[in-house]
Amino acid sequence: MKIPPYPHPRIAREGWGILAGSLVVALLVTLWSGWVSIPFWVFALFALQFFRDPARSAPDGDLLVLSPADGRIVCVEDAPDPYADGRQTLKISVFMNVFNVHSNRAPVDGKVQSITYFPGKFFNAALDKASLENERNAMVIQTPQGHIVTAVQVAGLVAKRILCHAQVQQTLYAGQRYGFIRFGSRVDVYLPPGSRPRVAIGDKVQATSTVLAVLPEAHSHEQSPA
């Protein structure tokens, strides 16, 4: 098992402001009334668990596709990749509820070819139509073996902000933290034909630790998407 570098706190930076504010409010209300402060402490505890960002160990293997998020598998199917020339792919989707870790990790080693943000709606992220109609951010990666893999952060019913910290031409390692989605959401992964899924609908997965699929071994380098 390889353990990649983990140069960030165990509580996601994206939640520091919310967590600090909720603690300050809870303390102030406590000084006024202990009973009234209970809901504020409950929210502070919820924020603490929501923005947790534990370190994870990644399994060895150059062709492994790691889960980009914690949650439950809601889709394993053949589908065109609308973010990389419409090529046919294996699509795997992970749905995150509000109790899952919402830090997003790169599914493979590779160089970022493009990052595209799409404004949209806020349907329940567990629904299939959320993939193409909800607010989303698509990141296309080319692996060292030439595979094209697309990871799409999709907002959900109460998710109001998608954060992507990766940049075009940046080289990512599998399991590297690259983004965050605030509250319920999903991540779609589009993989090249011949990829072999290791999960099924309904399976619970963990970011970095769970292998979603294995990429094909024999592969000629693909053209980077325009």
CA distances (Å), origin 11, targets 48, 105, 144: 8, 15, 31
- What does the alpha-carbon distance between residue 204 and residue 97 come to, in Å, rounded to a whole number? 12
> Measuring CA to CA, which residue among 138, 139, 140, 136 is closest to residue 125?
136
Contacting residues for 122 by C-beta, under 8 A, at least 6 apart: 134, 135, 155, 156, 157, 158, 159, 160
- What does the alpha-carbon distance between residue 221 and residue 26 come to, in Å, rounded to a whole number? 55
Following DSSP, what letter does each residue of 35-60 receive, concatenated? TTTHHHHHHHHHHHHHTB----PBPP
φ, ψ at 128 (rounded to 5°): -60, -35
Please indicate whether residue 185 is annotated as part of the active site: yes
Following DSSP, what letter does each residue of 200-223 receive, concatenated? -TT-EE-TTTSEEEE--SS-PPPP
Task: Determine the 3-state secondary structure of 186 from DSSP.
Answer: strand
- What does the alpha-carbon distance between residue 150 and residue 142 come to, in Å, rounded to a whole number? 9
Write down the catalytic residue from 185, 209, 220, 224: 185
Residues serving a catalytic function are 185
